[in-house]
Amino acid sequence: MSAVFSREFMAYFRTPLGYVIVAAMFFFTGYYFFTFNIIGNTTNTSGMFSMLFSVVLFLVPVLTMRLLSEERRVKTDQTLLTSPVSRLGIVLSKYLAALCVYAVAVSGTLVMAMVLQVYAQPDWPVVLGNFTGLILLGMALIAICLFISSLTESQVIAAIGGFGASLLLVAMDALHVVAANRLLRTVLRHMSFNSRYSGFTVGVISLADVVFFASIAVCFVLLTVLVLERRRWS
């Protein structure tokens, strides 16, 4: 498992993809930090983290698009599937590699908080709550996009599928308002990533929200394992 993880993690930085993802995230983090904190003359980082929600939704599909689709395209998936590593080990290795790159990318938020520390006293519980929310959001989105990547051999289709899933997650807030059925409105409201994430932006770490994001991650990791198992026997 460690060999697969190392291979996947290093693959991000043998190509421009890993650098592009990290650079893009740092760019948007710096831009929102400058806009909300420097120009706004405040130590409250909630505005920066709120805006990063949308950025993460559209960067994660690019981060994950090659993880399993590329294996199918170059016909190395059969070699991987017949290796001593279990299907769960393969999926977890790829998932954790993407999650580590993502963690590096969002670490820029902590750098900005340290910059604030030089000149003023940021609200560290809020900063850490926001960072926890970003990590949990990434955990869930990476699992969803990894599952989509396992369904196709085209990186482009995997990326488009990930973007579609992200758009659906963004649309949930609007859908639950216009839904005619009361039960459907309730389900959509509770499934809304934005409403689940918003509590973290004010430093509130709710156990229900943590369990929600963790459950989504576990669910889609297991679905990806099932896809690999089915491919093995097909």
The average pLDDT across 24-48 equals: 88
- Cα 91 to Cα 150: distance, rounded to the nearest angstrom: 10
Q: How far is CA 146 from CA 113, 158, 217, 219, in A?
A: 31, 9, 10, 12
pTM, two decimal places: 0.90
Cβ-contact 112, 131 below 8 angstroms:
no
Nearest to 1 by CA among 79, 93, 97, 94: 93
The residue count for the chain: 234
Q: What is the pLDDT of residues 61-79, one digit of tens each?
A: 999 988 888 777 776 666 6
- Cα 64 to Cα 57: distance, rounded to the nearest angstrom: 12
Q: How far is CA 41 from CA 12, 31, 149, in A?
A: 37, 14, 42
Cβ-contact 223, 143 below 8 angstroms:
no
Whether the predicted pLDDT of 46 surpasses 70? yes
Residue predicted with more confidence, 220 or 179: 220
- Cα 52 to Cα 198: distance, rounded to the nearest angstrom: 11
Task: Report the percent of the chain where pLDDT is more than 90.
Answer: 28
Q: What is the pLDDT of residues 9-22, one digit of tens each?
A: 888 898 888 999 99
Whether the predicted pLDDT of 176 surpasses 70? no
Q: What is the pLDDT of residues 98-157, one digit of tens each?
A: 999 999 999 999 988 888 888 878 878 888 888 998 999 999 999 999 999 988 888 889
- Cα 49 to Cα 119: distance, rounded to the nearest angstrom: 20
Contacts 24+ apart (CB under 8 A), 160-168: 160/61, 161/61, 162/60, 162/61, 162/62, 162/64, 162/65, 163/58, 163/61, 165/61, 166/57, 166/58, 166/60, 166/61, 166/141
Whether the predicted pLDDT of 54 surpasses 90? no
Q: What is the pLDDT of residues 189-218, one digit of tens each?
A: 777 777 788 878 777 788 888 999 999 999
Whether the predicted pLDDT of 232 surpasses 70? no
